[in-house]
Chain A
């Protein structure tokens, strides 16, 4: 790799190290191997020609071996839509009761504010009677439906 390209890769990696929110990306080396970077601080740049990436084990990657860097989405378009829908329901004014049906067939009625919360891709909810609680991932949600007032 010509030195200017290597500098460019170095600068690109420096830029991607800790933006808020962090955007996951993949480093693809010239031999076709893909290394995912899922969180900020997962890699360190060593001098100008080497980086350390901590996954299951620490991997050393020569910057000269990097073919390209590609952004990776955390969610599919459908999952993003479901997340937006859930956020809209949770923040609706006035609040309207709704139910969340999961892909495993279970269903939860959300009848008050602060009964469910969502992070970037994961969430937590408590059933209406307070007896069940559940951590979930956006991909676990099948549908969100507004409940019709009795």
Chain B
């Protein structure tokens, strides 16, 4: 997962995606300005909000790639 995440969160390979956690919670990352990646955690801001979620990478279950043309 860590490797997949590192691959996905690069400029060259970036596609909008959703973090699906072990709990089933979903966090969408559509643009580069929505998230910060660190070694063990990812911080994701919600769309047009100051609310942010801090996700433990070890708790990420699925990386769901979105269709960029699909409306939000």
| Chain A residues proximal to chain B, CB less than 8 Å | 20-21, 86-87, 90-91, 93-95, 112-126, 130, 133
Contacts and interface: CB of A to CB of B under 8 A. Distances in A.
A126 B44 CA distance: 13
Contact of A124 (B9, B46, B52): B52
Contacts of B43: 117, 124
A20 B46 CA distance: 12
B7 interface: no
Interface in B22-60: 31-39, 43-46, 48-52
Contacts of B46: 119
Given A94-B11, A133-B38, A120 B32 contact: no
A51 B68 CA distance: 42
B11 A93 contact: yes
Contact of A122 (B37, B38, B50): B50
A114 B32 contact: yes
B34 to A, nearest CB: 6
Given A90-B33, A91-B32, A133-B38, A113 B11 contact: yes
A86 B48 contact: no
A113 B9 contact: yes
A45 B32 CA distance: 39
Q: Which 5 A-B pairs have the closest CB atoms?
A: A90-B33, A119-B45, A21-B48, A119-B50, A114-B37
Contact of B36 (A91, A116, A120): A116
B33 A87 contact: yes
Given A94-B11, A114-B37, A119 B32 contact: no
